[in-house]
Each structure stands twice: as C-alpha cells, then as structure tokens.
Structure 1
Amino acid sequence: MISFNKLIYFYKRKLGNWNLVHSFISRWWKSYLLLFLLLTVAFVCGVYYLKAYLIAIFISYVCLIIILFYWMIVARARRFLRLRYKLRSFKEFMQLREYLFYAYLCRNGFKTRDDLDELIDFIKSESKLDKKNNHFVWLKGFGYFMIIFFAVLAGRLLFELKEVEVQVFTVIFILLFVFLLFILISRISQISRYFSTKKKRHALSMIEEIIAMKMRLLVAENTEYTPYLSMEKKVSENDFLKEIISSKSFI
C-alpha cells in the first residue's frame, strides 16, 4: 500500500532546495544571516542618530542586503550546481528535480501515463483536495459578524451622543477599530490556512509535476523525443543523486 506521508516527505525533503543545494552551502547561509543582523542593527542606529539621512540610509541598507544575498547565496548556489551536478542554470536544476521525481516514481511502479493518472487520483484522495475546510468559512463569517455588530453599535451611538464633534470622533474610532479588526482576522485566517493546508499545497505541486511528466511521455510516444535523457546521464554520474532515487520506497 502506498504511503502518502512518505511520498510527501520525499518530494519536499529529499527533492527540496535545502537538501539538494543549500545544505551544502550552509556556512554561507549562516554568514549571510549574521551580516543581515549586523546591517539591521547598523540601520536602526543610523535611523536613530542620523534621521536627516533616513532615505539614503534605507536605500543603502536594502541595496547591501540584495547585493550580499546575490554574492553569498545565489552566486554560490550557481557555482555549486555547476561543480556538483554539472548544471548551467537554475532552470536545468528544476529539470533535474523533475527527473529525480520521475525516476523515483518509476522505481515504485509508476512508469506509464495510466500509472501516473492513478497516482494523481490517489494524491487527490489522500490530501482531500475536493473537501472544503469549514474552519475558514466560520472564521470569515465571524469577521463579517463583527463588522456588522460594530456598524450597528456606531449607528446607535450616533443617536445617543449630542455633540457633533464627539459623534464624528466616535464614528472614526469605531471605523478604524473595525478596519484593524478585519485585517487581524484576515491575517489569522491566512496564517491558519498556510499551516493547515500545507499538505494540500504540496499535493497540488506534485500533481502539477506529474501532469508535466505525462505530457513529456505523450510527446515521447508520438515522436523520437526522449525525455530526461541528459538528466539521466548526469544522475548516473553522481552517487548522491543516485542514492536519492534508490532511497527507501514509499510503498
């Protein structure tokens, strides 16, 4: 029987950017985060002591963060891909990830387009993509209820208050409070949705890649095109990548 959790683990951990690239340049990540912290402290001190140059300090801060990220992370990652996997760009790296996923599925019995269709149905079933989460519907409804409640409260206060200035101040205060409350509820809903639908997002991402595999196989059936030929050769020459494909089965 197929284990959906093991499949998710393989897709997001074994094929994740951190496992394939960033963990090997972790020293540069740590150095960059340290410099980022130091720059942030310097930025705060600059804003406190040199308020007249706020715009120049902010632009310098942002530019330094971007330049350091490109030099310490992006450039190092490109160099690592070139030396370790013999890849020329991040686009080729994405092709490599797709091949690794395809080769792993083939190893576990999903070789044809029909097999991949069955896998897609299984992923949809296990991740419950067709089911709605009532929790978010309730949270959204609660937000609208609070808005209506404070709107009614504001209308009632207008009739009870005599002075025009007090009425205006009260209405503005309530409207501002309602707006902030709505923003807060929306953010809570987004954060909750992000974590609770994490498995669904991973499932959708897998389905998209599997559909891309199916299209490549369809083209290969009707032409002389051989999908993943160059990536297959690169993987065969790399023990680390071969180990990923031959790792413990999810069946």
Structure 2
Amino acid sequence: MANLFSAIHFPLFTPLFKRMLCQKTQSNERLPIQHPIRRAQQQVQQQAQGFSPLVALRQSGFTLIELVVTIVIITVLAIVAAPKLINLARDANIAQLHQLAAQIQSQNKLAYNKSSIDDISHLEGCSYQCNGHPNWDVLAGEFFIGVSGTRLYVSLGYPLPPLASGVEANYRAVFGLPEEDYAFTAVMPHQAATAIVPIKWQDKLAKIRNGTFECHVEYSSPTNIREYSVKVFSKDC
C-alpha cells in the first residue's frame, strides 16, 4: 500500500486518504489479504511436511475401533431397554383388563340392586306369558330391567351373558362395549364363561375359546351350577 501511495503524488490528499482507509479497515475489522505468492509458499511447505487436506479430512472421521465401540453400546442399550418396553406394554394391557373388570362389576351390582327393587332377583325364568309380569319380555323369553331406556336382560338378578340369544346388542349398549372395541367368545374349559376380549386380540379368539390364550375378562352369570363371577385372565398379555 505504501508503494501505491508513494507512486501517486498527491501531497495534500495522500495523508488524508491513508487515514480514511485505516479507519475503514479498523471499523469493519477486515482481515489482511494474504499475498498469492506467500499463500503458494505456505502450501508448498505444508506439502513438504506431509500435510494434505484430504488426509486431514480422513483423520477427522471415526476409526474402526470407535465404530465397533459405538455399535456395541447401542446393542447393549437395545438389549436392556427392549424388555422394559415390553413390560410397559404388558402392564398397560393388564391395567386395561382390570379397568374393564371393575366397570363390569359396578354395572352388575347396579343391575342386581335394580332387580331387587323390581323383585325379580330370585327369578331365573318363567313360562311364555309369565302371568303378565311387567318385567317379562315375551319375545325374548327373559326377565329384564330398564337401564336408560334399554332393556337389560337378567337372570337371578344379574345380567345374562352377551352370548345368550337376542341380548348382545342390549348388553353392549348398557355396558358401553361397542363392537369396534370388544369381542365376545365362550371359554369352553371354564363352563362356557363369556370372555370379553379387547379387539386387539381378535385374532386370538379361537385360542381363548379353547383356553390356550389368556388376555381377557371372563363373566359368568349365576346359574344352578355356578356362581356369579368376574375374573381377569392376563397370562398372555
């Protein structure tokens, strides 16, 4: 720069231009421009010392040992975390069953209390006309109680199982068990108790029916040979 200013003879403006240029450079904090010849000399020196940008880039990556260690750590974490995730899913399935069982038990108690009020909690069946009993459905051939405008069919004071003829739709409506959420089947090894199955296990209905898969709630209405019960089966959840 000095040579440039000395070559131009402006005795009055040269100091002023120099001062303005310095102020502009300081205010913008510009870095000095490296001379092309000096830059080329530095590159020659770096190559002579064995420095290569490609080698430096390769050296900044992962080594084989680092990759192996990373894979091992990820594998160990997966082995440790997977069972916990499975247990969380199992716990959630079991919690859903217990909640469902509590809901059914609560509804059954209300049904029994209503049957007692209507004085039919001791009745199991009747003849065709049943002497005109107000709680006897002639077409269904069962006693019933009214629940929010829906007939819930009962025997000995408790709801008939939903697999009984002609009662499933009413049972689903009263208990809040829509077809898209729950399926029903009979568990033959348990005296044909009714299995109330979350729809996610719909493909297991055949196994639930023969007793080889358990992740459901079983409802047994009282009869002459068995007592009323609501049980949770969660072995295979």
Structure number with greater Rg is 2
Higher helix residue share: 1
Bin for the TM-score computed over the shorter chain: under 0.3
TM-score, normalisation: structure 2: 0.24
Say which structure, 1 or 2, has more relative contact order (CA 8 Å, 6+ apart): 1
TM-score, normalisation: structure 1: 0.23
